[in-house]
Structure 1
């Protein structure tokens, strides 16, 4: 984030007799603001209030406003110690706004609070930050991440899909005989409600959390990482272990980035010494695995990026037995492709498609198709614009009794975003 203008380098040799103890400090950050136009088909009878078209003034959560400060100091030949603190400034996040809440109170977000020691045998980092697999599924040479980021829900994530009038439910009697079809009412519309973030997600290996992490020195073209730590989940603390592999290498015609990640998050009960679930046969582990690859052709600037990440979590007893829990999913799959063109460091274009299958229930798909452009006249400034269409499909599903089967259909959500990012 820091640029040559934002880098504050202080040589401590004028204060300390030993030149080996030179220290460097970095203070910087960025502001990233955008205007978001949304055509979401909102239906007052089911999913909210307001007209179908809305404008929002937002902080772009693809690369949010933040400030950081850090420092490094040489300890001895080949050894360096340092620390980094980074805080996000959340003001009207692009993933939080809705027609009911166009303006949201600001808050601060702890992004990174790290200390580290780097040596010829690798780097050890402790504190709140990225696990070993973090961003393994987000490697990207396109240069359009500020508008066409891998996690599509970061722009418009809280917007809900409107149910079409063609949605209906099939009814059966106690003997299983079909008795006819009916329209949804308000409550049943809520049972089929889904937002963009509820339909599509890139599953970024548990995000940032408290951990200790080890990164190996470069082994040929590869760096290996491992971490262990914990975070607070919906069912209490989660113990998290991750492993990752990242590589940047030259290949015929250009360059390639490769990332692979594997994560196990063990869900713990809220009460100490209690089982995670009354059914002790329920596996408490959430497993996430996958990665990404990005190729850049040096002569033309064309690039292609692919990503695939799976998320597995066994249903709890409560999730299995709920009236509306029928067909709930235990395996979600994210797939993504981006084609880019970057003729120079000043211009970058892309088109992309992503989908998450079975995010909530079996036989459903949340998808996005979009395009983006970024103009970067200097290292400190970006202007960008992009458009995307989100779609959601859910197959027929029935209540646990089998007496009501729902067939929801959803309006698409179109989002056009333009904004600017200034780094300092």
Structure 2
């Protein structure tokens, strides 16, 4: 008996008149649910009052629940056209839940709406989807991405670090004379509030967006990609241009993946008749550049993955002059290493460490250390478990007046996750 997917494909194709060659259809998706146990110190006013442990039933945003339908048709020798629509369907996203929002209504996420033509001279894709540099910083042979993904904030990203009792502020008078130290109050605690998402990020060359993309034919072991399009940023529409290079090659003892990417996203104001910033010297471009590599040793199954991505953006006039914007960062850096062991297609283990420096302000660091395991008895089913500890450090920073300097200290956040992914 044929599979349900095959039966559906035959049923759909029988309803469509095709003049020459029959189209091929693909319908599928996955469900990925997990339980997160968190010890984070979250509390009213973010000052450490109240319960510090929680359980969450979540959709794992490392590889979220989704559904897709696509089709391809051969046009002539070496030429193929097709389309793909993919929608995320999930409730309780693992990067959105927190103690005040343990149950979040289901939502739909438009992931991909693409049409493409693939030729001997390259592939052209039009629609909403991945830019040319997307995932260049995420190549990974470990097989543990479902629980130990490159972007650590996808599990528990909305959780807040607790401020330690040892946090303090230094006070100065109008003449700059030191007048003493004080504890934080509620408002000042809020000004130093930070979540996992606010402390660490892998800067994945913008999210999926509307673009036209060209992928070259394979040149030796490499594929060169370029794309241009636009997305929606916090200040309005962004024009986005990307270049990416990906390669898979044989190397002594095994094989290697390499990804490199560069993108420019131009920020714009929501009002079309206004410049991005009153100061013409402020560059509206956000530049993201970097890449990753992963090596797999064939004889043993040991593997190692490395990533380095930088995110550069000029400060706006508001960010330079705001009372609590002093020492804001213009260059953020993400660094990551993962050591893996994959003795067979059924088992995968990893330990990993990642950090983002200067995510919001200069002299700060968000880091994660963790481990994961994935058991895959079949291609359609994964069981996984992992644990990680997030830490955050921020150096002393002062308000623009220089009258108050803050020295926040943060408790670590521990996240333990176990779940299952079923593909269909």
Fold agreement, TM-score > 0.5: yes
Q: Spell out, residue by residue over 1:288-338, the C-alpha distance to the aligned partner (whole angstroms, 9 max, x if none).
A: 000000000000000000000000000000111000111000000000000
* Structure 1 runs of 4+ with >3 Å offset: 3-19, 47-50
SS at match of 1:94: coil
Mapped contact 2:144–2:350 kept (Cα < 8 A): yes
Mapped contact 1:48–1:100 kept (Cα < 8 A): no
* Residue in structure 1 matched with residue 156 of structure 2 by the alignment: 156
* Residue in structure 2 matched with residue 399 of structure 1 by the alignment: 399
* Residue in structure 1 matched with residue 125 of structure 2 by the alignment: 125
SS at match of 2:189: helix
Structure 2: which 5+ runs fail to align? Answer: none
Mapped contact 2:47–2:164 kept (Cα < 8 A): no
> How much does 1:42 deviate?
2.1
Distance in 1 separating the partners of 2:3 and 2:229: 34
Distance in 1 separating the partners of 2:387 and 2:41: 16
* Residue in structure 1 matched with residue 275 of structure 2 by the alignment: 275
Mark the CA change 1:78 to 1:4 in structure 2 (over 3 Å): closer, same or farther: farther
> How much does 1:90 deviate?
2.5
Mapped contact 2:41–2:48 kept (Cα < 8 A): no
> How much does 1:46 deviate?
2.7
Mapped contact 1:49–1:99 kept (Cα < 8 A): no
TM-score by length of 1: 0.97
* Residue in structure 2 matched with residue 214 of structure 1 by the alignment: 214
SS at match of 2:320: helix
TM-score by length of 2: 0.97
Distance in 1 separating the partners of 2:174 and 2:49: 37
> How much does 1:281 deviate?
1.0
Deviates more, 1:50-59 or 1:3-12: 3-12
* Residue in structure 1 matched with residue 236 of structure 2 by the alignment: 236
Distance in 2 separating the partners of 1:110 and 1:14: 27
Trace 1:94-243 onto structure 2 (pairs within 5 A): 94-243=94-243
Trace 1:28-67 onto structure 2 (pairs within 5 A): 28-46=28-46, 50-67=50-67
Q: Spell out, residue by residue over 1:49-108, the C-alpha distance to the aligned partner (whole angstroms, 9 max, x if none).
A: 751010000000000000000000000000000000000012000000001110001110
Mark the CA change 1:17 to 1:153 in structure 2 (over 3 Å): closer, same or farther: closer
SS at match of 2:275: coil
* Residue in structure 2 matched with residue 23 of structure 1 by the alignment: 23
Mapped contact 1:50–1:99 kept (Cα < 8 A): no
* Residue in structure 2 matched with residue 245 of structure 1 by the alignment: 245
Distance in 2 separating the partners of 1:167 and 1:93: 32
Q: Spell out, residue by residue over 1:209-257, the C-alpha distance to the aligned partner (whole angstroms, 9 max, x if none).
A: 0000000000010000000000010010000000000000000000000
Q: Is 1:287 aligned to 2:287, yes or no?
A: yes
Mark the CA change 1:15 to 1:63 in structure 2 (over 3 Å): closer, same or farther: closer
Distance in 1 separating the partners of 2:3 and 2:228: 34
Mapped contact 2:59–2:93 kept (Cα < 8 A): yes
Mark the CA change 1:49 to 1:36 in structure 2 (over 3 Å): closer, same or farther: farther
Q: Is 1:71 aligned to 2:71, yes or no?
A: yes
Mark the CA change 1:128 to 1:48 in structure 2 (over 3 Å): closer, same or farther: farther
Mapped contact 1:133–1:205 kept (Cα < 8 A): yes
Deviates more, 1:210-219 or 1:48-57: 48-57
Mapped contact 2:42–2:159 kept (Cα < 8 A): no
Mark the CA change 1:9 to 1:48 in structure 2 (over 3 Å): closer, same or farther: farther
Distance in 2 separating the partners of 1:228 and 1:47: 45
Structure 1: which 5+ runs fail to align? Answer: none
Mark the CA change 1:17 to 1:319 in structure 2 (over 3 Å): closer, same or farther: closer
* Residue in structure 2 matched with residue 334 of structure 1 by the alignment: 334
SS at match of 2:163: coil
* Residue in structure 2 matched with residue 323 of structure 1 by the alignment: 323
> How much does 1:4 deviate?
7.4
Mapped contact 1:111–1:208 kept (Cα < 8 A): yes
Mark the CA change 1:274 to 1:14 in structure 2 (over 3 Å): closer, same or farther: closer
SS at match of 2:46: coil
For the aligned residue pairs, the C-alpha RMSD in angstroms reads 1.7
* Residue in structure 2 matched with residue 351 of structure 1 by the alignment: 351
* Residue in structure 2 matched with residue 370 of structure 1 by the alignment: 370
Mapped contact 2:48–2:163 kept (Cα < 8 A): no
Distance in 2 separating the partners of 1:309 and 1:133: 12
SS at match of 2:187: helix
Mapped contact 2:48–2:164 kept (Cα < 8 A): no
> How much does 1:16 deviate?
6.3
Q: Spell out, residue by residue over 1:18-43, the C-alpha distance to the aligned partner (whole angstroms, 9 max, x if none).
A: 65x22100000000000000000224
Distance in 2 separating the partners of 1:96 and 1:105: 11
